[in-house]
Amino acid sequence: MGTYVQLGDVKTWYDEYGEGEALVLMHGGLVDARFFEPNLGPLAEHFHVYTPERRGHGHTPDVPGPITYQLMADDTIAFLETVVREPADLVGHSDGAFVAMLVAMQRPELVKRLVMISGGFSKEGEAAPDAEWDVDAIAEFLGPAYAEVSPDGLDHFKVVATKIGEMAAREPNLKASDLAAVTARSLVMFSDDDLVTMGHVVEMYDALPNAELAVVPGTSHFLTQEKPALVNALVLDFLTHEPVPTVAAIRRADTGAGAGPA
């Protein structure tokens, strides 16, 4: 059924599933925790899964003022400190992936492992930079699901969509060199037809100090729903196994990860 916790001025809704080590699922922009329905069950078989919904999303009401990635990172840090109260794995999609990365950069002691699904680090990597942010079209697509659970009601969806559009017009805007601050072991996952270019995907993978890369073939930005079994298998393999010694390490040769013959 879920519950609320007051985190500053945000009355944050979340639910919990499963037992074990803490894992926080972080949904994308303008959707809510239900987006992870195809992924939740397999994760909850192995972890104590938390599904917080960010300000203005899902069951969590909006608050006055803008929505920014930093504000959402601050909210997530407060959730980890107040509710989870131990280092957790963060699994984020789209906006949730970038927010998770900010948390890992700013509060590394709160993050065990980091899974970033379809979340780039800079607007410079956008695959369709000229795409219009059409609030009316977005409302037609996502508004009905919002209205099912939001305490703010359907009419407020366009307010939130406008805020997210204003954020998306400016952010994210990190440099590749900034990603060196992510010390957690990380999985970078994208579709092969995502909202960022494949060059951006590789740049992100190269810039993260301790990263692994997965590209899910034949999918789009909605890969977690289009091929959930494959996405779940990749995420669980990453989270439930230590890195294997590789036979012919090149990128990881200076880390001692290779185990092949000299």
Q: What is the pLDDT of residues 2-41, one digit of tens each?
A: 999 999 999 999 999 999 999 999 999 999 999 999 999 9
Q: Per-residue pLDDT for 255 more than 80? A: no
CA distance 208 to 186: 8
Per the prediction, the chain carries an average pLDDT of 96
pLDDT for the residue numbered 261: 43
CA distance 121 to 127: 13
Task: Indicate left, alpha or beta for 42 from its phi (over 0: left) and psi (-120 to 50: alpha).
Answer: alpha
Q: Strands, E, within 15-143: which ranges? A: 16-17, 22-26, 48-50, 88-93, 111-117
Contact 23, 43 (CB under 8 A): yes
- Domains parsed from the chain with CATH numbers: 3-255 (3.40.50.1820)
Q: Per-residue pLDDT for 174 more than 60? A: yes
Amino acid at 29: G
